[in-house]
Structure 1
Amino acid sequence: MPPTDTNLVQATQTSLRLIEEIQRRDGATMAELADEFDLARSTIFSHLNTLKQNGYVTKRGEIYHLDFKFLFLGEYTKRRNEAYELAEQYVKEMAGKCDEYVDFCVEQNGRILTVHLAINGIQNPQFTVAEYFHMTNTAQGKAILAHLPRERVEEIIDQWGMPRRTENSITSERRLFDELETIREGGYAVSYQECIEGMRAVAVPILEPDGSLFGTFGISGPKYKMTDEMIETELVELLQDGKSEFEAESKELYTAV
């Protein structure tokens, strides 16, 4: 959903929307992009040519793809903060202990973004790093929402809605806010097949040294393995221990600066 700020530069906004559409389609022709956005092909060409000249897209035959410059920028973003690198270490360590998918996620513009992902300490291609998810139907998202002011949560709902990904997805604001209160009291969030059918997840919030929200550590797995007992004992304990150790170590990073 595009932002509604009246101060946005429309040309830049168009370029960004084209980039996102190319990514969503895993490559797109000029005709497809022109139809999607109801723009003249000359306008689309000007944007794509500018992006191509600057290394952001490449063309193979008639299809435009995102270029490797995004990889460079993404790696820079992950490495610019030592705490992000530290989070990667913890993700791999926890994945080696639980034989499930472990991730580190952050909130970006009202959605959850997967920054690091591993299973048994090894990066796994079955799930995608840099993948976005809605916050209301993921354990990671709800863990973050529980630590945001109610006004910010309402803004996120207004922006992205409460999509029903499965029959278990939360689509009622009242039910969501009741659950966020439970999460605040318990210190962790759970998703019972609310985002992906057959998958459960549990997540804990990670805080900055100043008490602000940094991100989440989460564990996901199939429902037949991740029983209530396993979540409430083994996995919550693993996440809480990782959270405590990470927050203590990241505090030392800030102190050393």
Structure 2
Amino acid sequence: MSDNRAPRRIKSVGIAFDILKILRNEGGATVTEIAGAIDRTPGTTHTYLATMCDKGYVKVEDGEYQVGLFALPLGEYVRANSRLYQIGKPEVDKLARKTGEAAHLVVESHSREILLYEQFGADAVGEDLYTQIKGYPRRNLHCSAASKAIIAHLDESRRNEILDGYQLVSRTPNTITEEEVLREELEQVRSDGYASNDEEQITGVRAVAAPIIHEETIYGAISLSAPTSRMPQDQFMNTAPEQILDVANVIEVNIQTP
């Protein structure tokens, strides 16, 4: 008889990660505020926090708890050991320097968009915004050019897993909010080899992106974004896609090298 039961989970570990998310999202919180958010007593919550403080992943100042510095090297370790980051970083830097705009290296994890690396050219806009949000796994898979490039090239079962029940939240008047329309666009992305974002995520900003694929493995995507005034329609439809496809191809070739 097959055992269809889900794998066991340790609830206390999940609560600890929930606390870290709360501290990240709120920029800090008191014991009482955290207790209310995780539905635990202040005493129990304080025990969690004290343990996490001992380990360095949480710190407390004047009664307010924040994410601790031990979280920083952990994230840096993950990024530094990413093959896509190692190979893609210099190409992102070159693209930003050549175009003067913002270039991004993006991956998908747990149905969320993770910004692995970015570089801003001399004329790039939105640096403050990207700095604020880069620490947050984002639900922008339907309106980000890079994320559309990724999910369009996933196998069908994984793509369906992501899209089933996914909320297509409107970010701007141009955001796709109907699943059927999104699926049609993803089909076009697979055909074209690149994805676009025409003011769908941020009003006044366009972006193009191409997936990084090697031996049927989707490593992530590289994207280029710029204000609509500096990425007019012809460039958005022709020049920019050619640029991004060329850079993606270079990364795909280099990623094969041991």
TM-score, scaled to structure 1 = 0.90
Could you list the runs of 5+ residues in structure 2 that have no partner in the other structure? 1-5
Partner of 1:127: 130
Q: Encode CA deviations 1:28-67: one digit per residue, 9 max, x unaligned.
A: 1112112222221122112111111101010011111111
Partner of 1:112: 113
Report how far residue 8 of structure 1 moved. 2.4
Q: Would you say how many aligned residue pairs link Structure 1 and Structure 2? A: 248
Report how far residue 6 of structure 1 moved. 6.3
* Contact 1:168–1:193 (Cα < 8 Å) also in 2: yes
What do you get for the CA RMSD once the two structures are aligned? 2.0
Letter in structure 2 aligned against 1:168: N
Secondary structure of the corresponding residue to residue 28 of structure 1: coil
Letter in structure 1 aligned against 2:155: P
Partner of 2:162: 156
Partner of 1:231: 236
Report how far residue 82 of structure 1 moved. 4.1
Letter in structure 1 aligned against 2:190: R
Task: Say whether residues 1:212 and 2:213 are aligned partners.
Answer: no
Task: Say whether residues 1:252 and 2:253 are aligned partners.
Answer: no
1:77-92 alignment, distance < 5 Å = 77-92=78-93
Secondary structure of the corresponding residue to residue 132 of structure 1: coil
TM-score, scaled to structure 2 = 0.89
Report how far residue 120 of structure 1 moved. 2.1
Distance 1:174 1:159, change over 3 A: closer
Mapped to 2, the partners of 1:41 and 1:242 lie a distance apart of 52
* Contact 2:100–2:123 (Cα < 8 Å) also in 1: no
Report how far residue 158 of structure 1 moved. 3.6
| Moved beyond 6 Å, runs of 4+ | none
Distance 1:121 1:57, change over 3 A: farther
Partner of 2:60: 59
Q: Percent identity?
A: 27
Secondary structure of the corresponding residue to residue 256 of structure 2: helix
* Contact 1:56–1:67 (Cα < 8 Å) also in 2: yes
Mapped to 1, the partners of 2:91 and 2:123 lie a distance apart of 12
Partner of 2:3: none
Distance 1:115 1:122, change over 3 A: farther
Secondary structure of the corresponding residue to residue 130 of structure 2: coil
Partner of 1:184: 190
Mapped to 1, the partners of 2:166 and 2:29 lie a distance apart of 25
Letter in structure 1 aligned against 2:209: A
Could you list the runs of 5+ residues in structure 1 that have no partner in the other structure? none
2:145 to 125, 135, 139: 139
Letter in structure 2 aligned against 1:229: D
Structure 1 stretch displaced more, 131-140 or 13-22 = 131-140
Secondary structure of the corresponding residue to residue 18 of structure 1: helix
Mapped to 2, the partners of 1:125 and 1:38 lie a distance apart of 34
* Contact 1:51–1:57 (Cα < 8 Å) also in 2: yes
Mapped to 1, the partners of 2:227 and 2:44 lie a distance apart of 46
Report how far residue 211 of structure 1 moved. 2.1
* Contact 1:192–1:199 (Cα < 8 Å) also in 2: yes
Report how far residue 160 of structure 1 moved. 4.2
Q: Encode CA deviations 1:219-252: one digit per residue, 9 max, x unaligned.
A: 1122222222112222212211111111111111
Structure 1 stretch displaced more, 10-19 or 189-198 = 189-198
Partner of 2:99: 98
Structure 1 stretch displaced more, 98-107 or 133-142 = 133-142
Mapped to 1, the partners of 2:16 and 2:164 lie a distance apart of 24
* Contact 2:206–2:227 (Cα < 8 Å) also in 1: yes
Partner of 2:202: 196
Distance 1:13 1:121, change over 3 A: farther
Mapped to 1, the partners of 2:21 and 2:165 lie a distance apart of 17
Partner of 2:25: 24
